[in-house]
């Protein structure tokens, strides 16, 4: 007679399912993480240059260190969550990012930036894509793609709301009080939400994937690095993010001479709004689509949007390009986890997503520098944006490749 306990039915579609509270927690975490750890970088650079007169290259070097070091840490996010638990990891990440944000206001030597960025990298790794995917993967199976898409809309909100609030606060009270206030707001909002909203993941019925859970993270990583299917996820999305981030960082400088400061700002806001729309729409539909083919179409559409913005004169083409480009922006960070969820076994999901995110982060960190160097060398943004288009099309072809599954992954 089977003595195994009968597990309760898990209805992920029900609004009473506790996983949706965790989605809300991850949404808020993404909002603060992207506001202070991603979009806020341009504000820190400007304020530190103004206060200390340091060259932009000096500060940018420390920023590059931040992204590269966080890419290393992301590899081990799944291990940290498994050993320490979701709640402990989220709380620790919040405290690290909040403290790092405060310390930006007290930096008075360039070398100190590396210490601050080391602390922020820990917070960034524990609050962004890999951490959110691993966390929600413990609660969701059938609705995992939608859950991750909804949670990562916080990243867009962080850009829309977080940076204007930070800039307004700096103008009102100064840089140091402003970053201290933002850090306190992060702690006051997120810690109670995490402690109250994140409980114990629901039990899942044992299956073959769970039976193989004893496979170590190191074995899964080694198997993934030998697997063509893994590389056909990691590298194409890394190239897309390299082109995407490179364009976004330089977008205002590219558009302002053509349509003016106000309209360029409006175009950027429109693109960010479309990122939210695109992530929600595809979050509902992606489970019914061929995800690799859909990814290829999205990559190609980004290339076409850039082609139109470079070659078609007038504000209308720029706005239309931003709409199309924006619709795909948010999905470039959510689609990898959806494809991994569909193609890799449950026991490998967290490790594979973390490894793919780390590779994408390391490569995409070079995007702003690549676009900047090519722009300075050629004298315009045409050449660097054509390079971005080429990267998008290479990625569109590469994501369609598949290979045989390694036993440690399937």
pLDDT band at 261 (very low <50, low <70, confident <90, very high): low
Domain that holds residue 119: 19-197
* Residue 360 belongs to domain with CATH number: 1.20.1250.20
For residue 147, what pLDDT is reported?
A: 84
* Residue 233 and residue 190 share a domain: no
- Number of independent structural domains in the chain: 2
Residue 116 in domain: yes
* Residue 225 and residue 86 share a domain: no
Chain centre to alpha carbon of residue 16:
28
Higher pLDDT, 303 or 404: 303
Residues 6+ apart with CB under 8 A from 253: 381
Residue 202 in domain: no
* Residue 193 and residue 234 share a domain: no
Please report which residue ranges of 198-345 form alpha helices under DSSP H.
208-211, 217-225, 228-259, 261-285, 291-311, 315-329, 331-343
* Residue 223 and residue 109 share a domain: no
Average pLDDT over residues 35-40: 83
Residue 64 in domain: yes
Residues 6+ apart with CB under 8 A from 7: 203, 204, 205
Are 43 and 167 within 8 A, CB to CB?
Answer: yes
Q: Which of 410, 387, 72, 407 is nearest to 250 (CA)?
A: 387
For residue 57, what pLDDT is reported?
A: 66
pLDDT band at 358 (very low <50, low <70, confident <90, very high): confident
For residue 158, what pLDDT is reported?
A: 83
Residue 183: other Cβ atoms inside 10 A: 23
Residue 53 pLDDT greater than 50, yes or no: yes
For residue 31, what pLDDT is reported?
A: 92
HSE-up (13 A, CA, CB side) for residue 333: 29
* Residue 170 and residue 235 share a domain: no
For residue 93, what pLDDT is reported?
A: 95
pTM here is 0.75
Higher pLDDT, 144 or 158: 158
* Residue 237 and residue 168 share a domain: no
Domain boundary among 197, 224, 253: 197
For residue 333, what pLDDT is reported?
A: 77
pLDDT band at 107 (very low <50, low <70, confident <90, very high): very high
For residue 218, what pLDDT is reported?
A: 76
Percent with pLDDT over 70 in the chain: 89
The top-scoring range by mean pLDDT among 86-95, 213-222, 275-284, 325-334 is 86-95
Are 269 and 288 within 8 A, CB to CB?
Answer: no
Distance CA 145, CA 335 (A): 8
What is residue 287's DSSP assignment? G
Mean pLDDT of all residues belonging to the chain: 82
The top-scoring range by mean pLDDT among 128-142, 172-186, 202-216 is 172-186
Average pLDDT over residues 175-194: 94
User: If you search the block for the tokens 């859970």, which residue do you land on?
Assistant: 213
Percent with pLDDT over 90 in the chain: 27
Distance CA 5, CA 257 (A): 67
* Residue 156 and residue 226 share a domain: no
Average pLDDT over residues 51-66: 78
């Amino acid at each position: 007679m089977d003595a195994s306990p009968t597990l309760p039915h898990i209805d992920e579609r029900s609004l009473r399912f506790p996983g949706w509270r965790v989605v809300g927690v991850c949404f808020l975490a993404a909002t603060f993480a992207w506001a202070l750890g991603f979009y806020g970088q341009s504000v820190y650079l400007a304020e530190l240059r103004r206060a200390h007169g340091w060259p932009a290259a000096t500060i940018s070097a420390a920023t590059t260190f931040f992204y590269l070091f966080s890419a290393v840490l992301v590899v081990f996010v799944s291990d940290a969550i498994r050993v320490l638990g979701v709640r402990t990891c989220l709380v620790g990440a919040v405290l690290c990012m909040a403290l790092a944000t405060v310390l930006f206001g007290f930096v008075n030597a360039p070398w100190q930036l590396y210490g601050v960025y080391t602390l922020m990298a820990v917070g960034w790794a524990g609050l962004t894509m890999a951490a959110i995917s691993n966390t929600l993967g413990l609660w969701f199976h059938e609705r995992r793609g939608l859950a991750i898409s909804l949670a990562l809309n916080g990243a867009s909100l962080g850009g829309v709301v977080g940076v204007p609030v930070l800039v307004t606060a700096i103008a009102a009270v100064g840089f140091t009080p402003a970053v201290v206030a933002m850090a306190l707001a992060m702690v006051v909002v997120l810690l109670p939400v995490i402690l109250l909203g994140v409980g114990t993941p629901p039990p899942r019925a044992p299956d073959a994937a769970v039976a193989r859970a004893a496979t170590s993270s190191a074995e899964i990583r080694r198997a993934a690095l030998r697997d063509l299917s893994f590389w056909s996820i990691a590298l194409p999305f890394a190239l897309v993010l390299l082109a995407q981030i490179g364009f976004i960082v330089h977008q205002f400088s590219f558009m302002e001479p053509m349509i003016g400061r106000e309209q360029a700002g409006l175009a950027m806001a429109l693109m960010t709004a479309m990122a939210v729309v695109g992530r929600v729409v595809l979050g509902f539909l992606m489970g019914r689509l061929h995800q690799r083919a859909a990814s290829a179409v999205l990559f190609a559409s980004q290339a076409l949007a850039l082609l139109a913005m470079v070659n078609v004169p007038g504000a209308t083409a720029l706005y239309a390009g931003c709409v199309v480009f924006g619709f795909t922006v948010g999905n470039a960070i959510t689609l990898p986890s959806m494809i991994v969820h569909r193609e890799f076994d449950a026991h490998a999901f967290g490790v594979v997503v973390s490894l793919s995110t780390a590779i994408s982060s390391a490569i995409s960190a070079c995007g702003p520098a690549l676009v900047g160097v090519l722009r300075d060398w050629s004298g315009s943004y045409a050449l660097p944006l054509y390079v971005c288009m080429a990267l998008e099309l290479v990625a569109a072809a590469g994501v369609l490749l598949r290979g045989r599954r390694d036993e440690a992954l399937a």
